[in-house]
Amino acid sequence: MKRLDGTVALVTGASSGIGEATAEQLAARGAAVALAARRADRLDAVAARIRSAGGTALVIEADVTDQAQAVSAVEHTVAELGRLDTLVNNAGVMLLGPVVGAPTEEWDRMVRVNLLGLLYCSHAAVPHLIRAASDGSRGVADLVNISSVAGRVPRSGSGVYNATKFGVGAFSESLRQEVTQKHVRVSLVEPGATDTELRGHNRPEVMETIMARFKDVEPLQAEDIADTVLYIVTRPRHMSVNELLVRPTEQA
Ligand code: NDP
């Protein structure tokens, strides 16, 4: 696979799961990686592993739902690492359960992280990505949005999560059309059940439903989705992978 030496990537939600694995794989391919999330201790641990493997990592403690912090995460990356070739909008929360009787603060959290956070980071990053595409040896830059199977298939019990991830899909295709001729590739990754901390934030009764639904499914590992992102960002300049839906084999 092609190397990413000389490029700079910013990964949101890099303190665990898919974001952590993606940051590590990008760094292993030679990209300098900025790691953004709220849990600085977890980011420090990821950065230490990347550095001990010979890579470059920058820790940025940021809550992407605060626009000033999202902008500052992007600007800090460019100030410290010199440019921005790749943004992976991965930060997300999944709080499932029926619409009727739902604690609507869970809806607020999902809309703010999954949609607004992704929009703020994209808005701040795209001018830098356009610049990187025009002045880098690769001649291309990447914005990868992590959506979900839930961005393609609505289900009873995940209505608002569905709404946020369908929104990510719609925004991604619109932005793709806007910037693709400037050689910024906008890609959408839609993972199925992946073994991370994500579902652990649900209420106990919701957790039970999720566990029952996936009890016979061998989940994807975070590394599988990181590998998918790596595939996307290492394609040649003329090839843009618009969308990849990746499920565990046993997920119906
Ligand atoms: P994790 O819970 O392990 O990771 C979520 C990441 O998002 C954490 O690093 C967390 O960091 C970060 N995050 C949450 N809120 C904020 C915030 N306000 N500001 C900055 N960062 C934030 O779950 P996954 O790795 O599974 O999730 C990553 C993405 O993958 C999400 O978008 C999710 O919807 C998507 N996905 C996951 C699937 C799965 O089955 N696991 C399936 C389909 C899609 P911190 O708490 O430190 O801020």
Place of tokens 């605060």: 66
pLDDT for 8 equals 98
User: Ligand 1 center to residue 115 CA distance, Å?
Assistant: 12
| 28-74 pLDDT tens trace | 999 999 999 999 999 999 999 999 999 999 999 999 999 999 999 99
State the closest ligand 1 atom to the C-alpha of 65, by its place in the atom list counted from 1. Answer: 18
Give the pLDDT score at 136. Answer: 72
The verdict on the CB of residue 191 being under 6 Å from ligand 1 is yes
| C-alpha–C-alpha distance, residues 172 and 152, integer Å | 13
How far is 179 from 191, CA to CA, in rounded Å?
Answer: 24
H or E element at residue 35: strand 32-37
Please give the structure tokens belonging to residue 136.
């880098």
CA distance 241 to 34: 23
Tell me what pLDDT residue 2 has: 78
Give the whole-angstrom CA distance, residue 128 versus residue 131.
5
Catalytic residues: 161
Question: In terms of residues, how long is the chain?
Answer: 252
Q: Which atom of ligand 1 is nearest to the CA of 150?
A: 43
User: pLDDT per residue over 192-225, tens digit each?
Assistant: 999 999 999 999 999 999 999 999 999 999 999 9
Burial of 41 (0-12, 13-18, 19+ CB in 10 A): exposed
Q: Is the CB of 67 under 6 A from ligand 1?
A: no
Q: What ligand 1 atom has the least distance to the C-alpha of 200? A: 2
pLDDT band per the 50, 70, 90 thresholds, residue 1: low
Domains and CATH numbers, the chain: 8-246 (3.40.50.720)
How many Cβ atoms from other residues are within 10 Å of residue 61's Cβ? 16
Cα–Cα distance for residue pair 130/139, rounded to 1 Å: 10
* 139 backbone dihedrals φ, ψ, rounded to 5°: 70, 20
The pLDDT tens digits for 109-155 are 999 999 999 999 999 999 999 999 998 789 999 999 999 999 999 99
| Tens digits of residue pLDDT in 161-200 | 999 999 999 999 999 999 999 999 999 999 999 999 999 9
The whole-number pLDDT of residue 137 equals 80
